[in-house]
Amino acid sequence: MPLKSSLAGRAFRWWPFFFLSGSLGCGGLPALASSNFDRFAENWKISGDANPVPELVAEGGNPDGHICATDQEEGTVWYFVAPYKGDFSRAYGRRLIYDLKQSQSFGLLKGDDVVLYGGGYELSFNVRENPGTKWTPYSVTLSADAGWQHRYSKVPATEDELKAVLSNVTSLSIRGEYSDGPDRGCLDNVYFGTP
């Protein structure tokens, strides 16, 4: 039986095991973990130079709710940090998909777009295109031949290394800042380990 709770005066149902069981994710897409932010920020955080608690925006997502953060201009790139932790070894060969948008598309910064921590490794992935000012969909394959690399040395990750990370995920970060200066980034529709 689902747990019932109330948030901001709205009742919702939550099946804790549902999100991590390999069942259908939010919106009906199968995933090992997922977030659609339609009613709450789902325990996502921010790391870097933005408020550590993302802002939940009820409308204008892709569709409905989404989370955003605004750069505090302290000189570091900020990231959306997922609450997903634990054994995601079944995600190998599957995908991480998500939607991003930013407030401006000039003064672009370089940085690692997705960072996975776990199993003693810190691996990163860089997407080909920066997000635009409208929702931009991304699909990142969770396999060594997709372009995963060690975050600081940029040495390509092996299959064993990526599998070690996925078997003990301690953090998943998705870059939210792409512009130098006062900017805002938003995230929606995250599916981790989807076919």
For the residues of 137-171, what is the DSSP string, one character each? Answer: EEEEE-SGGGT-EETTT-PBPPHHHHHHHHTTEEE
The structure tokens listed for 94 are 């599957």
Q: Please state, rounded to an integer, the average pLDDT across all residues of the chain.
A: 86
* pLDDT at residue number 24: 40
User: What angle is formed at CA 191 by the lines to CA 157 and CA 119, rounded to 5 degrees?
Assistant: 35
Q: Where are the domains of the chain?
A: 26-194
Looking at CATH, the fold of the domain delimited by 26-194 is given as Jelly Rolls (2.60.120)
* pLDDT at residue number 28: 52
Using DSSP's 3-state secondary structure scheme, residue 191 falls into strand
What is the per-residue pLDDT across 137-155, written as a single tens digit (0 to 9) for each? Answer: 999 999 999 999 999 999 9
Share of the chain above pLDDT 70, in %: 85
Residue 61 pLDDT grade (very low, low, confident, very high; cuts 50, 70, 90): very high
What is the per-residue pLDDT across 125-140, written as a single tens digit (0 to 9) for each? Answer: 999 999 999 999 999 9
> Using CA of residue 35, residue 38, residue 43, residue 44, what is the dihedral sign?
positive
Instruction: Name the amino acid, one letter, at 35.
Output: S
Residue linked to tokens 């996925």: 166
State pTM to two decimals. Answer: 0.85
